[in-house]
Structure 1
Amino acid sequence: MNPASIHTPVLIIGGSLVGLSASLFLAWRGVPHILVEKHHGSAAHPRATGFTEHTLEFFRTAGIAERIPQVPPGATVRRARVESLAGQHYEELPWTPGQPEERDGKASPMAGAAIAQDLLEPILREAARARGADLRTGVELLSVQQDAQRVTAQLRQRDTGACYAVTADYLIAADGAASPIREQLGIARQGAGALRVLRSVLFRCAEADAFLERGIRQFDIDQPGFKGFLGTYSDGRWFLMFEEQSESTDAQLRALVRQALGKDMAFELITTGRWELAGLIADRFSEGRIFLAGDSAHQLPPTRGGYGANTGIDDVYNLAWKLQRVVRQQSRPALLDTYTDERRPVAWLRHQQTFARPDYAKWVGDGYQNEPLYGNLAMELGQLTRSSAILGADAALPPAAHPRDWAGQPGTRAPHVWVRHRGNSVSSIDLLTEDFVLLTADPRWSAAAAHLSLKTLLAGADVVFPADQAFVDTFGTGDDGAVIVRPDGIIAWRSAPAAIPDAMLLRAVMEKIALPHG
């Protein structure tokens, strides 16, 4: 093919965690695309390491969850304030300060995962390629322009210097916190701002692994004149993070590692990194045919909820099904306008939660002290999604709540229940990933949907719920109601009490939530 004629429905700029997740989700949905990444592989220093139940649900949908080692159901990563790894342990710290531990393994078919980013990315890369993704590494973006019809990117193969253009219907900018694409679009950011410059040291220390027998994996180092954070990737590698006032020499870095270990242990220095700790949320997540995802849209510091990486993966899961429908001309392009409306409030709430907690509150003053604190599962599985394509997400509803406190309200994640379907035990969310689905216990709704492009599942017949988690209670429909769930598992509509099943009503609902083409 002549390079000048390359065209793809979707172009992804950035092949790290979020870009690769976008590629996997698009490939799973059968959307042709090209991903370009200027490096040939993952960064030498892993960044993210904790992935939530919700993220693992997305990977379950895409068929790779079994390749990612999960933590035991109900388990949490334990953290302590210590003098050093080998020294005095002062106190164990709560995972979410001010909130009780909640995980009991019942809210999701998945547990979280503790896997280093540089071990997860190859899994994503291989799975995306196996599903037909066109991944181009060692390729950098030179410039990007858009008009009403397309996006045009000028690219350069770094090894050969060869330049070529790619046009796309849409572009996902997963190009990091500094995002040249966001800057070119002139999209400003708001938030706590840039707070600190942190240095991180990655090293291998077999002797340190013996101290993990206590069950603690993360250590806040608290010494006079030295504060740091020591953790393990649970694969023989450790990292130390600390605020760096000036450039440290190799000898100084080694001395700090020994200080954090608290004992003369042999260790191998692997690599170091420096990065900006900041809280910044883009004013909008899209401009025309270009969509920001991950750190380009929201720069969040490392948190115990893993908000940075997990929020970015959630971004592209939200975007992938919308792009699928628009590219296939099943929905009008206006469906993509809901991306900012749905994702920015989620990112903003996570920003506020981060700086309301003691980890970071000490650095930003009193501006966040009145923020209500939400627990882990509320933030991971119970955040509310609102937009014009979700009908009935009442403004009086809280922005997040524990999954057990939701019961089918529009804008919430469809609840997980182990159900019987075609003779098999499956999670209810496994049935809600490919298209819009109408769920009801009333056959009249099934009849009303018969001539619509809408999959229907009849509770008690197509899918059998357990007696203690009956469909009508779990989804809040009553005996004669119904819900419609989107391809990303979000409830987009629930019938009003005493609503009469009617094809015209369902057609009007689908017009608003799916924006069908033509």
Structure 2
Amino acid sequence: MPSDNVYPSSNGPSQVDDTIPIAQGQRTLFEFGSFDHSKIPLEPEEWPVIIIGSSMVGMTLGVLLGYHGIKSVSFDRHPSTAIHPRAALFLLRSVEIFRQLGLEDELRSESASNFDLDAGMIIVEKLVGGKVLASMQESDPAEVAKASPSRRLWLTQNMFEPLLRKRAKEFGAAQEFSETVVHYEELSDGVLVVVQNVQSKSYRKVKTKYLVSCDGNRSATRRKEGIEWQGPGVLGESISINFKADLTPYLGTRAKHGVTYISNPAIDAGFRLESGGKAGFMIVTRAGDKKSFSPDSVSERDAKRYFKEASGIEDDIDIKVDSISYWSVAAFNAERFMSANGRVFIAGDAAHVMPPTGGMGGNTGIQDVHNLAWKLAYVLREKASAALLRTYDAERRPVAGLLMRQAYSRLQKRVFRTVPDEPELPDIVCEIGYRYPSAAAAHIQNPNGDQYEDPHAPLVLPGSRLPHVLLSRDGSQISTLDLIKTNFVLLTTGQSSPWIEAAKGMTLEIDSYSINTDTGTVRDSEGTFSHICRISEGEAILVRPDGFIAWRGEWRKDGHRDELQKALERTLYLSGSKQL
């Protein structure tokens, strides 16, 4: 059954409408209005967390919550997971998150079977035979390996979501498709949610402690909460053409490139080819003088003409156009990521929309829910005060704003061919160098005031991601990031550190490691841990369950337990009466 934004067309291929409606436009949107649910019985089971939307971000949140021991259910109006290829590039931080969940190897295998993992990017006049205007290769793998244990993955949403859905049940993440959330009410002790089945039109009423809305760029939740967009705005209406065609006789060395941008008088476009060059999708931002494409305005014949103008292939090849997606090139960040009362949150495209240049959009959504999931888990399990949840907005909103502006700068430079508003930061800085303003990191601010750092010269301060350092455990090589599970982690270097003893005295479970070259189950096999992490004898680093540094402990003669407890209380927004 087609959803309300995927529909058959008289023009041939299915048409997908993902555009952002603008003010005074003709489009209509679903709105949460007044709703009499008094005659709908309340179901007895209360879900700790309900998620609106079961696509990439919503499903990832469900898995992350399950990883932390929290049950959730997601409701999605669509009949199933994505069937159209979107969000092809998974950046380093996203892959590190799936590594923490134990899913990296499975995703890498799927990616390798469809894409060239070492692909770069070029700008050419045409895909075949056109002059090279610019080229940018992926970062040197050896340099990336110094900063992260993971590598970027090419994996489209219609490949990724079914894989994650299969694993979701293992993590206690329930997903209900063809179910539309038509109403919710925020209460003092939770949120009432009314759901309607798409086929039967029957209603259900359920209650949850917290509601997280991953309902996309048209988010009704964002509008109900009175949250405004901020940013450059809608920059154009583009299309993506999903096609099958055997291009292997024509591509030569261009088959290896991850993204190929096309710029010539007839068309501005971009190709993302699947492995072997026998399928892929093409983005079109301009065709002749046409710079905007309204939904259902492009026929199959138009799509094939655009393909010919961008590819430069003169032969009459067999090309099958599977679908045409319409979407808005936009740059927005929400002014808030949560409701005023603190029980409703927005994440992913509901909270921010950015141009596809740099591949940051979906990845930023994955980072959103990684930040939120552990906080929800700690609050629901009474390990933290509900005030901790307000740090989701304080931390994620500035980072999303930074990445949105970086995506816009890349669009200006690579597509519009203009001087960008802000200088481009290196990709690796955008991916794993962003910092949090320490709202949940013992409230210590970055001394240089920046929102980011160079992952190759990490600050290793509260608000920074824990640096990647190669270690050994039981004869196998691991990363410092592999030590991060569901608990806080305390790292020291001394063989009998008083900080380790202090951690043992906490009722809050802390995973403690004394990392050196001589003793312990985890060893500094390369002899670089203390240097990279800037830690000396008698010092300690406390890391949150999302891998970000909460606090640094200095050398002291005594009082280690009291100092560690104060750091945890500040990080988790607990009063001194709560014994940790």
The question of 1:466 aligning with 2:525 is answered yes
Secondary structure in 2 aligned to 1:404? Answer: coil
More divergent stretch after superposition (349-358 vs 295-304) = 349-358
Tell me, in whole angstroms, the C-alpha distance in 1 between the residues paired with 2:502 and 2:258.
54
Pairing 1:331-350 to 2, within 5 Å after superposition:
331-350=384-403
Tell me the residue number matched to 1:218.
259
State the match for 2:212 in structure 1.
172
1:509 aligned to 2:567? yes
Structure 2 residue corresponding to 1:318, chosen from 349, 365, 371: 371
- Which residue of structure 2 lines up, in the alignment, with residue 234 of structure 1? 275
Which position in structure 1 is the counterpart of 2:229? 189
1:432 paired to 2:484: yes
Q: Calculate the TM-score normalised by the size of structure 2.
A: 0.83
- Counterpart for residue 7 of structure 2: none
Instruction: String of CA shifts for 1:337-381, please: whole Å, max 9, x gaps.
Output: 100111011111112222233645875977x53x34321111111
Partner residue, 1:291: 345
Contact 2:437 2:451 in 1 (8 A): no
Measured on the aligned residues, the alpha-carbon RMSD in Å equals 2.5
| SS of the residue 1:105 aligns to | helix
Contact 1:192 1:364 in 2 (8 A): no
2:383 corresponds to: 330
| 1:87 alignment partner AA | G
* Paired residues for 1:27-426 under 5 Å: 27-69=66-108, 76-94=118-136, 103-208=143-248, 211=251, 213-214=253-254, 215-234=256-275, 236-243=278-285, 244-246=291-293, 247-263=297-313, 264=315, 265-287=317-339, 288-304=342-358, 306-357=359-410, 359=412, 369=421, 371-391=422-442, 392-426=444-478
Q: 2:55 aligns with which of 4, 13, 16?
A: 16
Q: Distance in 1 between matches of 2:574 and 2:167?
A: 30
Partner SS, residue 184 of structure 2 = strand
CA distance in 2, matches of 1:213, 1:361: 21
Distance 1:361 1:267, change over 3 A: closer
Deviating more after overlay: 52-61 vs 13-22: 52-61
> Aligned AA for 1:274?
Y
CA 1:199–1:209: 2 relative to 1, 3 Å:
farther
Q: 1:186: Cα distance to partner?
A: 0.5
Query: Structure 1 residue 101: deviation in Å?
Result: 9.0
AA aligned to 1:123 is L
Deviation of the 1:93 alpha carbon: 1.9
Per-residue Cα deviation, 1:62-106 (whole angstroms, up to 9, x for no partner):
12111112679x96432222232223232342259xx99984422
Task: Find the aligned partners of 2:318 and 2:556 in 1 and give their Cα distance.
Answer: 71
> Are the structure 2 counterparts of residues 358 and 34 from structure 1 closer, same or farther at C-alpha, using a change threshold of 3 Å?
closer
CA contact (8 A) 1:408 1:477 kept: no
Q: State how far apart, in whole Å, the 2-side matches of 1:3 and 1:261 are.
A: 57
State the SS of the aligned residue for 2:541. strand
- How far is 1:212 from its partner? 5.7
Read off the aligned partner of 1:379 and give its amino acid letter. Answer: C
CA distance in 2, matches of 1:229, 1:339: 35
What CA distance in whole angstroms lies between the structure 1 residues aligned with 2:213 and 2:413? 28
Unaligned ranges ≥5, structure 1: none
Q: Which amino acid aligns with 2:451?
A: P
> What's the CA shift for 1:275?
0.7
Query: 1:477 is matched with which residue: 516, 535, 550?
Result: 535
1:245 CA drift (Å):
3.4
**How many angstroms apart in 2 are the aligned matches of 1:312 and 1:163?**
30
Q: 1:451 aligns with which of 505, 515, 518?
A: 505
Matched to 1:82, the amino acid is V
Question: Is the 1:481–1:499 Cα contact (8 Å) retained in structure 2?
Answer: no
Tell me by how many angstroms 1:438 deviates: 1.1
**Aligned-pair distance for 1:6?**
3.8
Question: 2:355 touches 2:411 (CA, 8 Å); kept in 1?
Answer: no
Correspondence for 2:5: none
- Per-residue deviation, 1:4: 3.1
Q: Secondary structure at the match of 2:79?
A: coil
In structure 2, the CA distance between the partners of 1:474 and 1:254, relative to structure 1 (3 Å rule), is same
Q: Deviations over 1:414-456 (max 9, x none)?
A: 1112212345432211112221111112312112222112332
1:238 & 1:329 partners in 2: Cα distance?
Answer: 48
Q: Take 2:523 and 2:79, find their aligned partners in 1: how far apart are those partners?
A: 48
Gap regions ≥5 residues in structure 2 = 1-40, 286-290
Q: Is the 8 A contact 1:445 1:501 kept in 2?
A: no
AA aligned to 1:451 is G
TM-score (norm 1): 0.92
Aligned partners of 2:554 and 2:503: how far apart in 1? 17
